[in-house]
Amino acid sequence: MRIEWKNNETSNAIEIDTTSDFKKKYPHLFDRTLVGKSIDEIHFCKANHYKNITSGSFVMPEKHDPSESRIVFAFCIADNTLYFLDDANKVETMLTAMQKEFEYMLTTPMVFLLDFMQYMITDDVYYLQSYEERLSQLEEQLKHGIAKNLDQHIMGIRKNLNSMGMYYEQLLDLGETLEQVVLQEKDELADNLLSLYNSRVNQLYSMVQTIKDYASQLSSLSQNLMAARQNNITQFLTGVTTIFLPLTLVTGWFGMNFRYLPFIYTREGFIGTCAFCVIVLAIEIIIFNKKNLFK
């Protein structure tokens, strides 16, 4: 795929190639862009600028599973042409969607690249808000005591947020490199677009950190509630044990096989022992209730 246009009598173009086709057509640019590597060996976003050639790569987490699934492609700006190296046909799909949803200007390859980068993050704020909404739902379930596998849900959310946070951090570094290129070219439009892009990426990165803090607080709240329940159970069992301790003492006393133990062979002794146990049990229950030891 190749798109050509003119800007102030200067011919510009956008071209999308696979890695193998790009290597055959432009071997000198291939060595500068991927340094002999393949697309599969790219693991992070970066940008380089050397001798009027700007190159770099994008590793974009896919929204359905950002921690495991990636969209990987590279780019190169040389001879007034923006080249995309894409073996999975993702860039052309995104460009087609971009034409329908996003307004951009065909002025220079750098401006188009910045417009494309803006499109890549245009819906990310809504995506991150979905994580915040999921955490809010988990919090409500936790308050009502109906949350199941809460820690697993939070761990999954934090894992995805970590991937998105690393992605935005890499984009900030990439934007700083492109900023130096834009300053050298003295392109005011590109400078404004890049400033807006860096500001939005920084906001997204801050949003990720805020949601991660929310997830950590929710995890701590869950652990605190679990500890409180365990303490209540322990307190209740301790109270029950304490209540029956005098009865255990009486049972042990009258269970001894001594011949001259008082009241052991009389009806009055049996009735008196039962009455004593009931009275002691009632007094203990009243005392425990007053001290809220059963709550």
Long-range contacts of 229-233 (CB under 8 A, 24+ apart): 232/295
Query: In what helix (H) or strand (E) does residue 272 lie, and over which residues does it extend?
Result: helix 267-290
pTM of the predicted structure, to 2 decimals: 0.76
Rg (CA), the chain: 35
Q: Are 85 and 63 in contact (CB under 8 A)?
A: no
Segment 17-35, tens digit of pLDDT: 998 888 888 888 887 777 5
42-48 average pLDDT score? 88
Task: Answer whether residue 104 shows pLDDT above 80.
Answer: no
Reported as half-sphere exposure (CB side, CA atoms, 13 A), residue 184 has a value of 13
**Helix intervals (H) in 69-187:** 90-101, 109-120, 124-143, 150-185
Sequence ranges of the domains in the chain: 2-226, 244-290
Q: How confident is the model at residue 293 (pLDDT cuts 50, 70, 90)?
A: low
Which residues, in sequence order, are CB contacts of 168 under 8 Å at separation 6+?
A: 201, 202, 204, 205, 208
d(CA 12, CA 186): 18
Task: Answer whether residue 198 shows pLDDT above 90.
Answer: yes
The sign of the CA dihedral 71, 162, 34, 186 is positive
Work out the percent of the chain whose per-residue pLDDT is above 90. Answer: 25
Q: Are 22 and 85 in contact (CB under 8 A)?
A: yes
122, 124, 110, 120: which is closest to 193 by C-alpha? 110
- Amino acid 166: pLDDT: 94
